[in-house]
Structures are given as structure tokens and as C-alpha cells.
Structure 1
Amino acid sequence: MRSEPTGTSAAGQPAAAPPPAGWEEARARGYAVGSAAALPVVDRSLAEADGHTLAAPLTTRTDLPAFPTSSVDGWAVRGAGPWRVVGRVLAGGAPDPLTGDGVTVEIATGAMVPEGTTAILRVEESGRTADGRVTGTPRPAPEWRLPGEEAAAGEELLPAGTPVDPALIGLAASCGHDSLPVRRPPRAALLVFGDELLTTGPPGGGRVRDALGPAVPAWLRRYGCQVRPSDVVGPVADTLSAHVSALGQALTGADLVCTTGGTMHGPVDHLHPTLQALGADYVVNTVAVRPGFPMLLARLVGADGRARFVAGLPGNPQSAIVALVSLVAPLLAGLQGRPMPTLPQVTLAEPIRGRGDHTHLALVRLDATDGAARPVRHVGSAMLRGLAGADGFAVIRPGTSGEPGARVPMVPLPLLPGERTW
């Protein structure tokens, strides 16, 4: 798998750079190496499982519900009325059977329905006789939930690879689980390269503001990563020794290290020599996609035998995000034991030009009225204005052009729960 971007051939001539990977091939490679290095399975209590990923299917330990359960407050009756009141059953109790016609017990929502009950009469639809008996007409449909109505004991409710969120935690608790086998969130770090970058204030005097240092960790969190403020380092000095030191240190505590800039072969682009010095293997070294061509993904195996990964993001901000959605998202899905991200199909409302033999990832916004995808403006590789108003990237495959009405794949931008959806 290793292929050096620079070096010397056996004949003493500079080695040729490998051809760029196709975009779909690059995604597949990223997912494959992530799956092969999937994070270990651990057992977590329900209180600790949020943000993890199921490592085994979620099944229920009993029927759901486990016993017949009243859906309303009212009266559990047997036979025809009026009914003589013989007791009360509340949630959490195990009632005695109703053993004769003409009797009833008051029942609360969620309480176990007594054996022998023929109907439940809603309290708001009931009355009383002078001697205290209950009157009324039960509705034709049963007013209780039957055992197994939601799920049968042992039934698979969610597959392995499902992200654990509050809804899943509640479902697991209702199934009788106290803990879950899960894969933990990957730990990620970010190294920002570039002496020309400012970290505060407006750009000027030949220096530009670092937009990726604040933004990339937020994107990584949306893909399920843990990124602490201390995991963001930079700008790292534009020297090989500084790069080697910073990357080596970051890899000691991270499953994935993203870097920004330095992915080409300019006078201060030190990422490739740094990866060579650290003994990395390339998974992907450049991708036939526009924007974002000079992205890369490399793998290093530590002394503990576990693989760590380096994702080289181009320095232009939009190109860096293209690298995130193209290489990092599939890699992280594999590491977490999640399925390969699927790409929904969208209909183009306007033409989007192709990029020859490269895949074109074009920023689009989905129309709220018809759902059609429309290209946004301000989409240069160094621009972020278009990205801020987009829902994702329309995929225009090599050798094609996106015509109005065409159905094409779209890479959605990742969202946190509660954020707008497309």
C-alpha cells in the first residue's frame, strides 16, 4: 500500500508521483482501512453510552410491553354493567384476577390489566349509580396494550453500527438493558500548518486569518469525534523538524490527526517528508476531484499494534472541507463500526459543469419548496461564504455534466441533532 510521493527510483531518477485515486475509490479505501482498524468494543452503562456506536444489535429482553397495560385512566370491568367496585390497581402493582361478571377495579394509565378483564371504561365516560356502582359504555376498541405489541422478546430493534443517542438509550432501558456493548467515539486532533496564518483579528499585511483551526474540530464532532481545545495545535512552524515533532506528539493521544495545508510539494510543504520520517503508509495520495485534489490519507501502526491515521487537508478552506467529506467521513464511519455513508439522490434545478476526468463536488442548496438542488455562489476553493449557505455537495461524475432535471448523488454536510435538515 505504501507509495512515496517523492524520492529516487532505482535508476537514480526522481520517482514519479502515483496517479490520483478516483473519488469513489478514495472513499471506499478510507472506509475499508477504518473498518479494519475499528475501535475496540467496550461495555458502557446507559448513562455513559451517549455518542458511542452500537457494537451489537439492540434486542429486547422481554416482550414490549411485558404484560397487558392500560392505555387510559378508568375502570377495568368484567361482563356487563353496572359494575361493583372491588378494588384499585395502580402502575407498578400486580392485581388479582377479576373472577366474576359485574365487577370492576379502578385502573391507572400504565397499570397491569387484571386477568379476566373484558373491557376498560374511560373514567371521563363513566358514571355512578346511587349505590356506588359504575356505569358506562366501553369503547369497541381495546383500551390496553397487549404483550409484545411493540416488540417480541429477543427481537432485533436496531442493528450494530447505529449511533447511540437519547432515543436509543430510552429504548434500551425500556428493553431491560443496564449497559450496552459499544465502540467509543474516535479521538481526533488538528495540526494547523502555515506561518502566514493569523489566529486573531482581521487579515492584512500579507497574512490571512486561519479559518480551519476553529472550524475543523466542529466538523469532526459532527462526525462523532471527540476533540478537546488542547487537541488543536498551531500554527506549527514551517520547518520539517517542527512538523515531525508536532505530528508525532499528536499521534500519541489520537486515533486521527488532521492537518491543514502542506499537502503539495512547495518550499515549505513538509507533510510528505514528515509522513516518510514517521514511517507512514499512504492509503490515498491525491484524489481526482475538484476542488480538493491534493488531499491525502495515511496510516501509521503504533508500538501497541493499533493503527492511527493522518488526514492531510488542503490549505484552501473549501478544499479542506471537501477532503473531510470525501476521506475523513468514510474513515470515521469505519472506525466506529458504522455503515459506509450512503449518498442520497437529488434533482438538479440548474446546470452544473463537469470537470473533465475529475469528479466535481459542487456546493448546492436544497430548495424548501420542491427539494431541488441549486448551486450556490461564492464557491472558490479559498471561499467559505458559499459553504455557509449550502446543504451539501452535488456529485458530478467524471466525463459528465450536470444538466437540469438530472438525478445525481449528494454528499450532505453533517448535522448535529436539532440542526436544520435538508
Structure 2
Amino acid sequence: MAWEQARARARDSAGQPLPLVTRDLDAALGHALAASLTALTGPTALTSQTDVPPAGSVPAPPRRQEGRTGEVLLPAGTVVTPVVLGLAAAAGHDRLAVHRRPCVELLLLDEELPRSGPARAHRAPDVIGPLLHPWLTRHGAEVIGRRRVQEDTARVRDALRDSTADVVVAAGGTAAGPTDPLRTALGGSGARLLVDSVAVRPGHPMLLAELPPFPDGRPRLLVGLPGDPQAAVAGAVTLAVPLLRRLGGHADPEPYRMSAAVDLPGHPHDTRLLPVRRAAHGVAPLACDGPAKLLGLAVADGLAVVPPGGAPAGTDVEVLEVPGP
């Protein structure tokens, strides 16, 4: 599947955003400090209520009135930040309706975990969990768990069945081979593949699947990411981030584009997500861009979306956000 098509499929597979919840402003502030919330869905999100003060109250000075009664201050889908909550209070609101954050569980498929007995003392460190956890939270997820699972079909199938998350993000085990159990576990659990590999490098074995629903009928989804760190990030920006934003009611962001300061190397046939730094006349590639390497991501300003064959100097390319604070 083409890269742009996979991103669109991830957004569309979310269906409708998650249900609304109503919070008073103090509770909403706590959530906004922890992660993004979105304002009320519908034709309007936040309107001014300050023209006509309640009986017995002191009217706000004119300089503090944010707008006339009924005037739309912020559209639906606006991210609720502490500043937005201050605006809501100034506009006369004491409660705010927001979308529930999608619950996400991270499953880290680990071939080094023994099938039985204690874990090995010198197994490989978890480099993907610490990378993805805060980044998914930043995009509106409530990460409810992170666990390592033996790369064994039965154990992976049990972990998928037992998860209480709206979205399971599994890292590792996505390659279509006899030693990679995720696709086998999905096939044996009644899941339906929505995206089965993407024409992008790194990260082409990524996948998106619809899991059997919860007993009450609520849908469950799975994003499968390759196990190499940079490939996992490529899978996250392609599938996980668009899916979570749509579930949380976020508006789709406008693409951010910059000019290529030099020729950007591409893959002969697939889209390439290339770590880049801002330069004087656009973006330039970084040397450390292998799928298993983190140094390029650690110093990158973004991931350039390079079409098959590469992008000559002066070409405008889309630049995606990379994990960061």
C-alpha cells in the first residue's frame, strides 16, 4: 500500500471520535497538563458567555471580555491547553466538554525473553518503549500499560485478547516470516488486516488491524510497528499518530513543508522518511539514518517525506514531527 494511502486508511479506520466527557475546568487543567484534550465537537466548540453576567455577579471589565455572547472563540477540534482553559474561564464557562483520550497499551515483542523461567540478566534494553510512550501521550493517547511479551504466537495472542486498550501498539514481530508471530497471532484471533505493509522505508512491514470488539461492542484496533527504532517511528507517524488524532477528535494538521537545501536521497521504488536538520536554505539529510539507529532521530528536526527516486535541491517536501518533548 502506498504511504499516503496508508495514512488515510489509519485516519478513516478510527471512525467517529471517542465519546465526549464533561469536566470542570480544574479537572480539565490536570488532563491538559498531562496530555492533549480536544474541545466540544459539533458546529462550535467554545463560545463567549460574558456579555450577560448571571444575576448578582459582578460583570467583567470590558477589557477582559473575550467576545460578544454567542460569538465563536475557538472551533471544534481545538487542542485544550492551559491557555485555552484560561480563555474558557474568561468567557464565562465553568465546565468544558472534551473527547475521551484513546487508551493505548504498548506491547514490546521480545525474542530474548525466555519461554519459561526468569528473564535473562543481560537481555537487550527496551529502547522503543521510552521513545514512544511520551510521544503517543503528546498526541492525545492515555498510555495505560507497557509490557514485554515473548515472541511466541500463543503469548502474543493472549496479550492481544486480554488488553483493555482502545488501541494496542505492538513493536516487533511484524515481518512476514516464520519467526515473527504477530501476523500469525492476528490470523488466529479473528482480527482483520486493514493495512498489511506499506511502500515506505524504513518501516515497510508495519500493519494496522481491527481486533475483535469488546463485549459491549466497542471497537479495538492494533498498530504493528517494526522492532528497529527508526522503523518503529516511521510506523508511528504513518499509522499510530493519524489514528490517535482522529480518535481524540483532533483536527487534521496542515502539512508542514520546507525546501530541500541539497539533494535528498530516496528509495528506488518506495517513499522514504529521512531524518533531516534545518539548514540556511531548507532541510538537509543526516548521516545516521539506518533503521536500527537512534542518533539521527536524536538530533533531527523532522522526517522529510522523500518520494521514490529522491528529491532534488530546491524541491518542497513535507516534514513530519519526530519524537521530542
2:146 aligned residue:
232
**Preserved contact between residue 40 and residue 46 of structure 2 (Cα < 8 Å):** no
Question: Please, which runs of 5 or more residues in structure 2 have no aligned partner?
Answer: none
Question: Please, which runs of 5 or more residues in structure 1 have no aligned partner?
Answer: 1-20, 67-91, 95-109, 113-144
1:80 aligned residue:
none
1:249 alignment partner AA: D
Deviations 1:336-357 (A, max 9, x none): 1112233211111121122122
2:304 aligned residue:
394
C-alpha deviation, 1:163, in angstroms: 1.3
1:233 alignment partner AA: R
Question: Is 1:178–2:115 an aligned residue pair?
Answer: no
Q: Of residues 280, 285, 290 in structure 2, which corresponds to 1:380? A: 290
C-alpha deviation, 1:29, in angstroms: 0.7
Q: Return closer, same or farther for 1:408/1:201 CA change in 2, 3 Å cut-off.
A: farther
Aligned residue for 2:199, secondary structure, equals strand
Greater Cα radius of gyration, structure 1 or 2 = 1
C-alpha deviation, 1:194, in angstroms: 1.9
Matches within 5 A, 1:77-116: none
Work out the CA distance in 2 between the residues paired with 1:273 and 1:363. Answer: 32
**Preserved contact between residue 297 and residue 322 of structure 2 (Cα < 8 Å):** no
How large is the Cα RMSD of the aligned pairs?
A: 2.4
Work out the CA distance in 1 between the residues paired with 2:322 and 2:172. Answer: 21
Deviations 1:320-371 (A, max 9, x none): 000001111100111011122332111111211221221111111123xx36
Question: Is 1:288–2:199 an aligned residue pair?
Answer: yes
Work out the CA distance in 2 between the residues paired with 1:376 and 1:161. Answer: 35
C-alpha deviation, 1:62, in angstroms: 2.6
Q: Of residues 3, 25, 46 in structure 1, which corresponds to 2:25? A: 46
**Preserved contact between residue 37 and residue 306 of structure 1 (Cα < 8 Å):** no
Q: Return closer, same or farther for 1:384/1:275 CA change in 2, 3 Å cut-off.
A: same
C-alpha deviation, 1:197, in angstroms: 6.6
**Preserved contact between residue 333 and residue 341 of structure 1 (Cα < 8 Å):** no
Matches within 5 A, 1:255-274: 255-274=166-185
Aligned residue for 1:279, secondary structure, equals coil
Extract structure 1 runs of 4+ deviating beyond 6 A.
200-203
Q: Return closer, same or farther for 1:414/1:315 CA change in 2, 3 Å cut-off.
A: closer
**Preserved contact between residue 304 and residue 318 of structure 2 (Cα < 8 Å):** yes
Comparing 272-281 with 321-330, greater Cα deviation is found at: 272-281
**Preserved contact between residue 365 and residue 390 of structure 1 (Cα < 8 Å):** yes
1:356 aligned residue:
268
Work out the CA distance in 2 between the residues paired with 1:371 and 1:254. Answer: 44
Deviations 1:40-74 (A, max 9, x none): 1111111122232112311111349x7xxxxxxxx
Matches within 5 A, 1:396-415: 396-398=306-308, 400-413=309-322, 415=324
Aligned residue for 1:157, secondary structure, equals strand
Work out the CA distance in 2 between the residues paired with 1:391 and 1:312. Answer: 25
Work out the CA distance in 2 between the residues paired with 1:347 and 1:180. Answer: 40
Aligned residue for 2:80, secondary structure, equals coil
Q: Return closer, same or farther for 1:146/1:262 CA change in 2, 3 Å cut-off.
A: closer
C-alpha deviation, 1:275, in angstroms: 1.1
Q: Of residues 312, 326, 334 in structure 1, which corresponds to 2:238? A: 326
Work out the CA distance in 2 between the residues paired with 1:375 and 1:176. Answer: 49
Work out the CA distance in 2 between the residues paired with 1:327 and 1:267. Answer: 24
**Preserved contact between residue 151 and residue 173 of structure 2 (Cα < 8 Å):** no
1:107 aligned residue:
none
Work out the CA distance in 2 between the residues paired with 1:246 and 1:355. Answer: 35
Question: Is 1:58–2:46 an aligned residue pair?
Answer: yes
TM-score (norm 2): 0.88
C-alpha deviation, 1:302, in angstroms: 2.4
How many residues matched? 308
Percent identity over paired residues: 40
Aligned residue for 1:182, secondary structure, equals strand
Q: Return closer, same or farther for 1:28/1:165 CA change in 2, 3 Å cut-off.
A: same
**Preserved contact between residue 197 and residue 208 of structure 1 (Cα < 8 Å):** no
Question: Is 1:275–2:186 an aligned residue pair?
Answer: yes
Q: Return closer, same or farther for 1:254/1:356 CA change in 2, 3 Å cut-off.
A: same
Matches within 5 A, 1:297-376: 297-300=208-211, 301-367=213-279, 370=280, 372-376=282-286
2:181 alignment partner AA: H
Deviations 1:357-406 (A, max 9, x none): 21111111123xx36211112110010110000111111123x4211121
1:31 aligned residue:
11
TM-score (norm 1): 0.68
1:239 alignment partner AA: D
1:237 alignment partner AA: Q
Aligned residue for 2:234, secondary structure, equals helix
Work out the CA distance in 2 between the residues paired with 1:311 and 1:244. Answer: 14
